[in-house]
Chain A
Amino acid sequence: MRFRDHRVVGDIMELATRYRDEGADELVFYDITASPEGRSVDRGWVRRVARVLDIPFCVAGGIRCVADAEEVLNAGAEKISINSPALADPDLIGALSGRFGSQCVVVGIDSQLTSAGYRAYQFTGDPDCTRESGRDMLAWVREVQERGAGEIVLNCMGNDGVRRGYDIEQLRAVREICHVPLVASGGAGAVQHFTAVFREAGVDAALAASVFHTGAIAIPDLKRALRAAAIDVRP
């Protein structure tokens, strides 16, 4: 099942140092069950990871107010990413970007194509809690930018975990209306999927989890392939 059965991927510290040493350009730490469980990401974890990382570090998971965000940033995160809490309280986006600057505020959007078009989903970290938020995804993309989001991570739920490639069509539709950095998420299974999403959807970054965790794709190999395809990435 695509969103079910989130795998335990081993020690987080070990992964963080491995990705740092392999040349990852940013690490995003998602505590995906925080929102459905009504809690917020553990500050101690953030601090431990931040201490060893020398690359950008974005943290997500149940950040529901300015004070939550401040604690997470003080623990060493660069950016905070909000998803379900932003859908519950859209004013949170403006409050966070007013206090910390929009460059600090990432809005994650879980999207799925339905008969009513692309819709934004909430609480996707727990399949039993997942629900359609009542919002049209593209309208939400416009709104979060107006409210001060500095970056958008679009997770295409239909592709997530199936490793058949990013949802180029959906990401292109978002790119058309997205004036802040856009990060593709969901679907990476092979090196050519990354090349395709940069070339065809014009995203600023591509996020992946399982292919890296399992070692299916090694970051140095991926970067070599991207550079060979004339995509400008740090070696």
Chain B
Amino acid sequence: MEAVIIDSGGANLASLQFALERLGVRAAVTSDVRAIAAAARVLLPGVGSAEDAMQRLRRARVAQLLPTLRQPVLGICLGMQLLFEHSAEGMTECLGVLPGAVRRMQPARGRPVPHMGWNQLTGSRQDPLLEGIDPGEYFYFVHGYAVPVSEVTIAHVHYGEAVSAVVRRDNFWGTQFHPERSASAGARLLGNFLKLT
């Protein structure tokens, strides 16, 4: 398979599948470790809670497999957060592929939580995943937890404070926003991912 989508128990995997379909790629949704290990690229989406998703990934033994993967992996939204060591959401041990922890966002005046909406990237670094994307491009965010900016951050977003919007280490990438729902900029990013080897 050119790409597979890991079934982390989230319900809305169809939108990601449709987005890849629009790019001409039919990606299976699976939690089968052999199918995941054999795929050229792996997408880890996720809605719902970190705790619930990690339990499902452990039960399917995907949590054990994921850190060993050598092909390009893209975590989206909760999927990106799961790549880190720990999440404050349910005090959950995560995959530990990326250093750092996920924190709860605090609502403030003019800054409701969850953060939902279109926001601009800032501080984008050169990366093949962001190839051809305007450094100030708008993407669609929906999240109540966030990862502080760190050495793995390759673009961030300002929402009261700067938080990670795109992260990367080696073959592991993650986006806090939803590229599958971020119009042409999102399609470009997914297209870039599908070219990574």
A residues near B (Cβ < 8 Å) are 20, 23, 25, 47, 50-51, 53-57, 69-70, 73-79, 99-104, 150-151, 178-182, 202, 204-205, 233-235
A76 B15 Cβ-Cβ under 8 A: yes
Q: Which residues of B contact A75 (CB under 8 A)?
A: 14
B160 interface contact, C-beta 8 A: no
* Residues of chain B at the chain A interface (Cβ within 8 Å): 10-15, 18-19, 21-22, 47-49, 78, 107, 110, 112-114, 116-118, 138, 140, 142-144, 178, 180-184, 186-187
A106 to B197, CA, bound (A): 39
Docked pose: A150 CA to B116 CA in angstroms: 9
Assess the A180–B19 pair: CB atoms within 8 A. Answer: no
Residues of A within 8 A of B180 (CB): 54
Q: Which residues of the other chain, A, contact B110 by a CB distance below 8 angstroms? A: 202
Separation in Å of the B126 CB from the closest CB of chain A?
Answer: 24
Q: How far is the CA of A232 from the CA of B102 in the complex (A)?
A: 27
Question: Do the beta carbons of A204 and B117 come within 8 Å of each other?
Answer: yes
Contacting pair B22 A25 (CB below 8 A): no
Interfacial chain A residues near B116, Cβ < 8 Å: 103, 150-151, 181, 204
Contact status B49-A78, CB under 8 Å: no
Instruction: State whether A180 touches B112 (Cβ < 8 A).
Output: yes
**Residues of B contacting A77 with CB < 8 Å?**
12, 15
Beyond contacts A103-B116, A181-B114: 6 other A-B pairs, Cβ-Cβ < 8 A, are A25-B140, A74-B13, A78-B12, A101-B48, A103-B142, A150-B144
Query: CA of A24 to CA of B113 in the docked complex: distance in angstroms?
Result: 22
Please give me the residue from chain B that is nearest to A69 by CB atom. B11
A54 CA to B140 CA in the complex, in Å? Answer: 10
The answer to whether A76 touches B112, judged by C-beta atoms less than 8 angstroms apart, is no
10 closest residue pairs by CB, A with B: A73-B11, A76-B14, A234-B138, A73-B12, A234-B118, A103-B114, A179-B107, A103-B142, A181-B116, A56-B181
Of listed B15, B110, B113, B140, residue having the most chain A CB within 10 A: B15
Residue pair A99, B114 in contact (C-beta under 8 Å): no
Q: Which of B10, B11, B113, B183 contacts A54 (CB 8 A)?
A: B183
Tell me whether B113 and A180 are in contact (CB under 8 A): yes
Q: How far is the CA of A234 from the CA of B141 in the complex (A)?
A: 13
| Contact status of A78 and B181, CB under 8 A, knowing A47-B14, A55-B140, A103-B142 | yes
